[in-house]
Structure 1
Amino acid sequence: MNQGYELPPAKPLNGFPRVAHKLASDPDRTTTIFRRFDRLSARNLILLEAEVAELEARQDRFDEEDKISTSEEVRSCHTEWSTFERLATERDADGNPTNLGQATKLELALKIRSKIKEYHEALAVHQTLLNSKPPAATTIKGMREWFLDTHNGKQYGAPQLWGASEKRFDDPYDLVALRVPADQDRLSEFILNYFGGFFPATSTDPHSSYIRESTLAKTIAIISSILSAILLFGSIASLYFVHNGLALLGMLGGWTVLFAVCVGWLTNARRDQVFAATAAYCAVLVVFVSGTLGGAAGGQVVVGEGGWNCTRGG
């Protein structure tokens, strides 16, 4: 046996082992995509809600009965837990409860405690899943093609799993990723969709490859820095050589709109963040225009009754 020869890693079995291997093969773990089962989750929550509502109705009926009761024991059970527990758990020689009414109420209280905990946990889990970031569109597309074996324009392929699992990627809105890229914005998706071939990639099979998140993040950071510099110094340079008042206002508005569009479309900034960033950018340009640099190259902007005039000094 040749000691320098290493056997290639064994391929996993087709089916569940192969799908699991594929999900775990991504170094960034962005392919860990699973179904949320939104319809079933909603139905489960509705059923739990209905069950808790029935328990609530039973509790209300017991309370209405106790309102008209003249028994001191009944009233004590509503004000002191130890009395309620003692009366509800007392048993006779045959093991039967001596106070069936209080025993039934304690059983109901414990059932409500258990069921409402289950209901709240289901609500919290479903809320977490609904608020989680969706998988990247490029990741879904690549995983769907691999799963359905529709590479290179194949119309019909052999899916990795059969039966009901064959529809795993039918609804992209029913999918959740256990991990999504940290900087998942429109600029990243654009670069990945149209320029992904320029990035170094690793592959575990002939039909798909992985681009490291760190590599993409560095590229996006460089592009964002260049774009930011262009928006700032480009606007200042263009405004420096303009001395017509109306042209200054037009260019100021144009650069501000361009900045707002870039921030709103290329990033994941919220509306308030876009507004704040645009206001700050516009303020910088206004300060520049109104200062000594704006139009100071041999002239000044004069506002008169007849409109804007530009006069040049000697």
Structure 2
Amino acid sequence: MSETKVDVESRSHHLSGYPPLAAFIASDRDRTTLIYKRFDDLAARNLLYLQSELAELRSKQCAFDQEDLAADLETKQYARNFADFRRAEKADDQIQKDLWKLMIKIRETLKECREALIFESTLASLPSPSKGNQTASKDDPFPTLGGYSAELYDDIDDLVALRVQEDQDRLTSFAQKHLAFLFSDRKRSGKGIAYASDRAISTFIAWFSTFLAALLLIGAIVVLYMVRSPDWRLGLIAAFTTLFAGSVGLLTNARRAELFAATAA
């Protein structure tokens, strides 16, 4: 009796591979799932090859220049007058034809190399995905690819997130990492994948920061009004100043100069 291969995908009515992976990436409203492979090793090797190719072409160009240096006046004229150079090339002067082909090759390779450098510069400015997003991309039931593509998302240092997030404060980063379950988007969550809304987290952080700032300000005014002892007042002023500086330093992304200015004010 022959064995029948069970088609798990048909039973679950779920096709794994590119279709669900593309749907998963496109489903995130916050665009945090726009994560792709950098292939930094291939890009680096490509740039090295282009550099070496240009170095070889430059050596050939220098060889032509040395030949022109020892040539007659007519040949030297080709090196200083582009119109004469083109006429000689079109007149089937083999040396000038070879030089023209070399120039075209240098132009094309140089353009390709510089475009690759600009692309790499742009890519280098894009951030890596957060560890949470990268971990989610590897956990089941995330739709994975097969073959050599199965390891595309393993190395976080070789991934790029196309959505450039604003410079987040420490409180927002903490909420995204440890409190994301409180901001689950139930409309989009399903099939074992839970979405946390960045918009909901940002709204919560805005309200919490406003409440904390008001609490410190009003609390300081009320407490200092009720306390009559000068010694206690000095201690409370120092305590509230420390609390304010700590809240600004820990819960925001303020720089040290901004922190000192806010505390002094």
TM score, norm. by length of structure 2: 0.80
* Residues 102-251 of structure 1 aligned to structure 2 (within 5 Å): 102-146=96-140, 160-182=144-166, 184-201=168-185, 202-203=187-188, 205-230=190-215, 243-244=230-231, 251=239
Matched, 1:87 2:62: no
Question: For residues 128-163 of structure 1, what are the alpha-carbon distances to aligned partners after superposition, in whole Å with 9 as ceiling and x for unaligned?
Answer: 11110222222222222146x6xxxxxxxxx72221
Change in CA separation of 1:253 and 1:180 when aligned onto 2, cut-off 3 Å: same
Q: Report deviation, 1:247.
A: 5.3
The answer for the alignment partner of 2:5 in structure 1 is none
Matched, 1:34 2:18: no
C-alpha separation in 1, matches of 2:70 and 2:219: 82
Q: Which runs of 5 or more structure 1 residues have no equivalent in the other structure?
A: 1-9, 91-96, 150-158, 285-314
Alignment check: 8 A CA contact 2:172 2:201 kept: yes
Alignment check: 8 A CA contact 2:184 2:194 kept: no
Change in CA separation of 1:276 and 1:101 when aligned onto 2, cut-off 3 Å: same
C-alpha separation in 2, matches of 1:41 and 1:106: 30
The answer for the alignment partner of 1:19 in structure 2 is 21
The answer for the alignment partner of 1:281 in structure 2 is 262
Q: Report deviation, 1:45.
A: 0.9
Alignment check: 8 A CA contact 2:126 2:164 kept: no
Q: Report deviation, 1:65.
A: 2.4
1:203 match: secondary structure? coil
Report the aligned-residue RMSD.
3.0
Matched, 1:262 2:256: no
1:210 match: secondary structure? coil
C-alpha separation in 1, matches of 2:197 and 2:222: 37
Deviates more, 1:191-200 or 1:251-260: 251-260
The sequence identity of aligned pairs, in percent, is 34
Structure with the higher helix share, 1 or 2: 2
Change in CA separation of 1:199 and 1:65 when aligned onto 2, cut-off 3 Å: same
Change in CA separation of 1:249 and 1:197 when aligned onto 2, cut-off 3 Å: closer
Code of the residue aligned with 2:104 in structure 1: it is L
C-alpha separation in 1, matches of 2:74 and 2:224: 87
1:176 match: secondary structure? strand
| Count of matched residue positions in the alignment of Structure 1 and Structure 2 | 250
Q: Which runs of 5 or more structure 2 residues have no equivalent in the other structure?
A: 1-11
Alignment check: 8 A CA contact 1:33 1:175 kept: yes
TM score, norm. by length of structure 1: 0.68
